[in-house]
Amino acid sequence: MEINPFEVVKKQIDIVAEVMGLNSSIVQFLKRIERSLIVSIPILMDDGRLKIFEGFRVQHSTVRGPGKGGLRYAPSVNIDEVKALATWMTWKCSLLNLPLGGAKGGICVDPKKLSKRELERLTRRFTAEIINIIGPDIDIPAPDMNTDAQIMAWIMDSYSSQKGRTIPGVVTGKPVEIGGSVGRESATGMGLYYIIEAFCEKLNLDLKSQRIIIQGFGNVGGTIASILYNQGCKVLAVSDISGGIYNPNGLNINKLLEWTQKGKYLKDYEDNVNEIISNAVLLSTECDILIPAAMENQITQINANEIKCKIILEGANGPTTPEADQILFNKGIHVIPDILANAGGV
């Protein structure tokens, strides 16, 4: 069953509004999107074909300041997903007391199927389509799923060219050489570590003795896995889009990172010690700390009863549905929400 992420957001608002006793008019305001833009992006491919992609930029709220939020490239991207992500960004920036609103963007594309030249043309044309609704004082894109410092550099260059001067503040997450922040790539993962370290201290738990499982092995999942492993923690399983890899005695995360940094999938890791498992099995495998750091809606009412951990640290945005939240609460599982846990990347 496909879950609409924006409907999940609305349910979350209703639940919290009831607890807080919010006025119904305020509730309706919080559910509304301030601005959304859907664009068609025609791109000339390397083989001479013309291909049209669909892109989105959504600003949920700019009440507290300019919109802030990532830009993701993925085949699954749609307007409702981007609306949900933009709304979560509003909550995240508000929780951290940042003078920023919530925004998000995306292009429905599999970037692995594009050449670097095609990817650049796509990014620059998308920038041209949204140029009137982004800027340092309006809306500031950032890296997200399948986008990186290079993508941000292309956006900055295209935007600056149109404005007639260099404007580094149009994006964050750009290369350090052109004004980016040192440590930006690992910021979300580092934030996760600081949060779980503080939470374990609060519960009088020894973090190094906790058995950890991580769904997602990209920028966020890979970073937190590396930090925990190098701090002496035992990481039992990790996964990427191809599936997971499990070892009850703990994985060698550094070797796995070397493997995936070559562009290879975890399911193809050649090893006689580790076991290949599915993402579904990974989520239901017994551990102490589960870190969903992949996509939204991974823990639902369908599989929540199968979760066997003490703590869930939400590395991804919206990995747990409201129905699953209630089940986990009833089971006594602590859930550290995404708007706090992964806020280091803002």
Question: Beta-carbon neighbour count of residue 254 at 10 Å?
Answer: 12
Long-range contacts of 121-127 (CB under 8 A, 24+ apart): 121/43, 121/44, 122/41, 122/43, 122/53, 123/151, 123/154, 123/155, 123/158, 124/154, 124/155, 124/157, 124/158, 125/41, 125/42, 125/43, 126/39, 126/41, 126/55, 127/154, 127/155, 127/158, 127/159
Poorest-confidence range of 55-69, 105-119, 268-282, 308-322?
Answer: 268-282
Looking at residue 1, what is its pLDDT? Answer: 64
pLDDT, tens digit, for every residue of 224-281?
999 999 999 999 999 999 999 999 999 999 999 999 998 889 988 877 678 999 999 9
Mean pLDDT of 33-45: 98
Question: Beta-carbon neighbour count of residue 25 at 10 Å?
Answer: 8
Whole-prediction pTM? 0.93
Closest CA to 266 of 221, 308, 306: 221
| Contact (Cβ atoms closer than 8 angstroms) between residue 126 and residue 114 | no
> In one letter, which amino acid is 139?
D
List residues bridging with 292 in a β-sheet.
215
Query: Domains in the chain and their CATH numbers?
Result: 1-32 (no CATH), 34-178 (3.40.50.10860), 187-345 (3.40.50.720)
pLDDT, tens digit, for every residue of 182-234?
999 999 999 999 999 999 999 999 999 999 999 999 999 999 999 999 999 99
C-alpha span between 130 and 31 (Å, rounded): 23
Catalytic residues: 104
Tell me whether residue 33 is exposed, middle or buried, using C-beta atoms within 10 angstroms of its C-beta: 0 to 12, 13 to 18, 19 or more: middle
Cβ within 8 Å of residue 259, ≥6 positions away: 266, 269
Q: What whole-number percentage of the chain has pLDDT above 90? A: 94
